[in-house]
Amino acid sequence: MSDCIFCKIANGQIPSTSIYEDDKVKVIFDISPATLGHALVLPKSHAANVFEIDDELLAHAHIVAKKVATALKEATGCKGVNILQNNGEVAGQSVFHLHIHVIPRYDDDDAHIKWTPGTQDTEKLAEIAEKVKAVL
Ligand code: AMP
Ligand code: ZN
């Protein structure tokens, strides 16, 4: 996609500090990091989100995210890592080229990746389960 910033970064048309690169993905540091070392795994080919991306490319990107998480843990001394990925504006996606966040976590850091635990609606969930099974 000619006007996609992550296409340009992943394919070298916009310079970036890359911590890992292969023929399918590039890994950069987030410009507005949640914590020190927050990295993004960018596939080199464009897909807006999880609903569009090729399965093998997504699997590869996740394997790279695991390797980067392990390396960041070693490099930063963080105590844990969140690996997450937003799909759609309502889910918090702001750049519409799929990317995987790798966020090192420290005691008392300022990343707030939490929700209020709710309660299950068993009737609705039974309905959803039937519909999901029909699709899968
Ligand atoms: P999301 O909200 O999941 O779409 O995440 C987009 C992320 O991309 C945010 O954390 C931004 O800070 C980050 N970001 C946006 N533009 C750039 C850029 N030019 N270089 C690095 N990270 C960026
Ligand atoms: Zn793109």
Q: What is the full per-residue pLDDT of the chain (136 aa) written as tens digits?
A: 789 999 999 999 999 999 999 999 999 999 999 999 999 999 999 999 999 999 999 999 999 999 999 999 999 999 999 999 999 999 999 999 999 999 999 999 999 999 999 999 999 999 999 999 999 9
The type of residue at 101 is H
- Pocket of ligand 1 contains residue 32 by CB under 6 Å: yes
- CA dist., res. 67 & res. 58, Å (int): 14
Domains of the chain in sequence order:
5-135 (3.30.428.10)
Exposed (0-12), middle (13-18) or buried (19+): which is 120, by Cβ within 10 Å?
A: exposed
What pLDDT score does 1 carry?
Answer: 75
Q: How far is the CA of 130 from the centre of ligand 1 (A)?
A: 36
Total Cβ atoms within 10 A of residue 40: 25
Adjacent-strand bridge partners of 27: 20, 41
pTM above 0.95, yes or no: yes
The single residue of 38, 97, 99, 101 carrying the catalytic annotation is 99
